[in-house]
């Protein structure tokens, strides 16, 4: 909503990370589960509703859990990511099998979710278009992980160290 096309604002970021090895005896009696959580907080001062970013406060959380079986030859892991304001996220499960100290293979998935969010159209749009119908005065943004919500993947990584 600024005639210049932009509005200066300050962003303040805070990151908090917590690690904890935890025994879960009924799942793995001989090893700990390594649990890591990271929280990313962002505050935008002088936030306005016309900004394309979510705000003024946004929180993104990451939870990673992994363990090892059979003398750490089999290593399952799960990473969950969630962005609260954009309601977007990801789940990344993977399993690594170490054949020897030099050779390993990892199979995993990368699953994403998200949605478009309407924002008021800018005074000077970047693209000229014919806008008609419901929502013609809105632009749509994909914040957080929404931009990759249609990019689910399956991967196989083979690693040889020499």
C-alpha 140 chain-centroid distance: 20
Give the pLDDT of residue 75.
95
Q: Determine the distance from the C-alpha atom of residue 83 to the mean position of all C-alpha atoms in its chain, rounded to a whole number.
A: 7
pLDDT, tens digit, for every residue of 100-157? 989 999 999 999 999 888 777 766 666 666 666 676 677 777 888 888 888 999 999 9
Q: Are 113 and 90 in contact (CB under 8 A)?
A: yes
What is the pLDDT at residue 30? 80
Pairing of strands 153-160, 103-113: antiparallel
pLDDT for 48-94, tens place per residue?
A: 766 777 878 999 999 999 999 998 899 999 999 999 988 999 999 99
């Amino acid at each position: 909503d600024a005639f210049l096309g932009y509005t200066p604002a300050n962003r303040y970021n805070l990151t908090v990370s917590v690690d904890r090895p935890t025994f879960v005896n009924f799942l793995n009696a001989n090893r700990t589960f390594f649990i890591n959580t990271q929280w990313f907080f962002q505050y935008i001062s002088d936030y306005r509703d016309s900004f394309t970013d979510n705000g003024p406060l946004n929180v993104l959380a990451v939870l990673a859990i992994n363990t090892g079986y059979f003398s750490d030859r089999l290593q399952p892991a799960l990473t969950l990511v969630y962005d609260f304001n954009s309601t977007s996220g990801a789940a990344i499960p993977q399993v690594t099998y170490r054949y020897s100290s030099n050779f390993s293979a990892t199979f995993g998935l990368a699953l994403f979710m998200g949605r478009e969010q309407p924002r008021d159209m800018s005074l000077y749009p970047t693209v000229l278009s014919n806008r008609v119908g419901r929502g013609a005065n809105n632009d749509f943004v994909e914040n957080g992980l929404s931009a990759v919500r249609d990019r689910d993947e399956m991967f196989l990584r083979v690693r040889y160290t020499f």
